[in-house]
Structure 1
Amino acid sequence: MTETFSTTILPQLASGAAHTQALGFQFDGLHGGEPRIHVPWREDLVGDPDTGVLASGLVTTMLDHVGGLAVWAVMDEFQPIATLDLRIDYMRAARPREDLKAQGLCYRLTPTIAFVRAWAFETDPADPVAAAQAAYVLNKPRTRSETKA
């Protein structure tokens, strides 16, 4: 992976969209070549006010987003992608009032589909809140000759 892509482009992709900014996504670098993001705990992101546990929708969004980052990291370039399939297994509730991290691995890349595993956790990736299995379709822009039919 080029230095420019990993230090400039990936951080922008991690937090540059309106929804990622609103949710407070922050790029936490590459860990063993795998992108990691984190979200600081905030009261407005809590799903259960009685416990202070972050909302499960936030976990889903993080896992989907870090999955996309994992695809771009393997491709070493930005190109449009779309979530084709996303399965999430929730293993436990997030710990109250703790920041949440997510990390992803693109383990297979074909010309049209990328396959990803991702997990959300507080401090230890071996103790996940949730794990995801996902597939992303690669929407490579067509050339001018391909658009003429």
Structure 2
Amino acid sequence: MTSSLISLLPQLASAAAHTHALGFAYDGLDGDRVRLRVPWREDLVGDPETGVLSGGLVTTLLDHVGGLAVWVALDRFEPIATLDLRVDYMRAAEPRRDLIAEARCYRLTRSIAFVRAWAFEDSPENPVAAAQGAYMVDSNGGRVLGSNLKDQRGDAA
């Protein structure tokens, strides 16, 4: 993996407005597995009586770490988009605990990347949630379905 992508991962993990607001932080790379952490904060709690982080936060974390795993597999940053994301919630997160997410891109085609991810407190063997996702890879130099292409006359398509 190129050192330029490795040096970008912390910024890609938390520089977007929503990931910064949620407190996502790059937590490391182990081979092809990328890891993020979100520190517990009271404003991220879904149920004030239990102190458990919101399920929407868990989904967002899994989706974002999945995207990072795609960039790791590509060994470069390029536009991607989530096509499909299935999240299976296995148990409630532990109250007042940071949440960690880990993801790995296990199959990469010319246009689709397939990812598995887990959210947990201590170990992926005891997940709060597991996800399977498919991400569109921009293999066409930015000319993807739905982009504003022009026909040969220069008119908008």
| TM bucket normalised to smaller | over 0.9
Distance 1:44 1:142 in 2: 37
Corresponding letter in the other structure for 1:117: R
1:108 pairs with 2:111: no
**Structure 1 residues 147 and 34, CA gap change in structure 2 (3 angstroms):** farther
1:10 to partner: Cα distance:
1.2
1:32 to partner: Cα distance:
3.3
State the partner residue of 1:51: 50
Corresponding letter in the other structure for 1:116: V
State the partner residue of 1:95: 94
Give the TM-score normalised by the residue count of structure 2: 0.89
1:35-64 per-residue CA deviation (whole Å, 9 max, x = no partner) reads 100000000000000000000000000000
Give the TM-score normalised by the residue count of structure 1: 0.93
State the partner residue of 1:3: 3
State the partner residue of 1:132: 131
State the partner residue of 1:117: 116
Distance 2:142 2:90 in 1: 41
Which secondary structure state, in structure 2, belongs to the residue aligned with residue 136 of structure 1?
strand
Which secondary structure state, in structure 2, belongs to the residue aligned with residue 115 of structure 1?
strand
Q: From the two aligned structures, give the one with the greater helix fraction.
A: 1
Query: Where does 1:25-104 land on structure 2 (aligned, <5 Å)?
Result: 25-104=24-103
Work out the number of aligned pairs and report it.
Answer: 146
Conservation of the 8 A alpha-carbon contact between 2:32 and 2:105? no
Q: Which has the larger radius of gyration?
A: 2
